[in-house]
Amino acid sequence: MHAGSGLHDAVSPWVRRWSELVPAGARVLDVACGGGRHVRWFAGRGGVVTAVDRDAAAVEPLRAVARVVVADLEAGPWPLPGETFDAVVVTNYLWRPLLETIVASVADGGVLLYETFAAGHETIGRPSNPDFLLRPGELLRAVAGLRVVAYEDGFVEPPPRLVQRIAAVREHAAAAVPARYRL
């Protein structure tokens, strides 16, 4: 379910904050990108962006700044088999059968920036279907194997919503010196 349509036109403060983890020139994947607020953000920062969404009309304008892939992520196969990215961005979207694939799409040294609705949000508004709301700690469990740099689970506004959000890195296994992630 893509709940982001119309929710925001501005870059998510969470994505903006953790964008420092994504170097200029990075290969960035925006999953269920909708109108492309984060596609444009990362392209403007020098990223080589791939935008994936099922709404062909919504992503058409993004062709000027990104590689566009039109695919129904919930009804078809993963459209980017075997590809990995320096950054994978997901906001306001949850399709549990894809969580493992999304995490596997983060390249060595890459970052996952994920923010979506959490259980309890149904008391505020849509989405209200529990299939599209993260259970407590679910996002943490989904990124097992990545190093969590930041994680939040709670109420934010504006607009009012209950979310889980994470910034997690797939560290290089052979790194001689531990990485330092600026908080």
Residue 6 scores a pLDDT above 60 = no
Average pLDDT over residues 81-91: 98
> 123, 101 in Cβ contact below 8 A?
no
Q: How much is the pLDDT for 176?
A: 63
In the predicted structure, residue 163 carries a pLDDT above the cut 90: yes
Asked if pLDDT for residue 183 goes beyond 70, the answer is yes
- Domains identified in the chain and CATH numbers: 13-169 (3.40.50.150)
With 60 as the cut, is the pLDDT of residue 5 above it?
no
pLDDT above 90: percentage of residues in the chain: 77
pLDDT at 38 over 90: yes
DSSP 112-149: EEEEEEBTTGGGTSS---GGGSBPTTHHHHHTTTSEEE
pTM score > 0.85 for this model? yes
pLDDT in tens, 94-149: 999 999 999 999 999 999 999 998 987 888 989 888 888 899 999 999 999 999 99
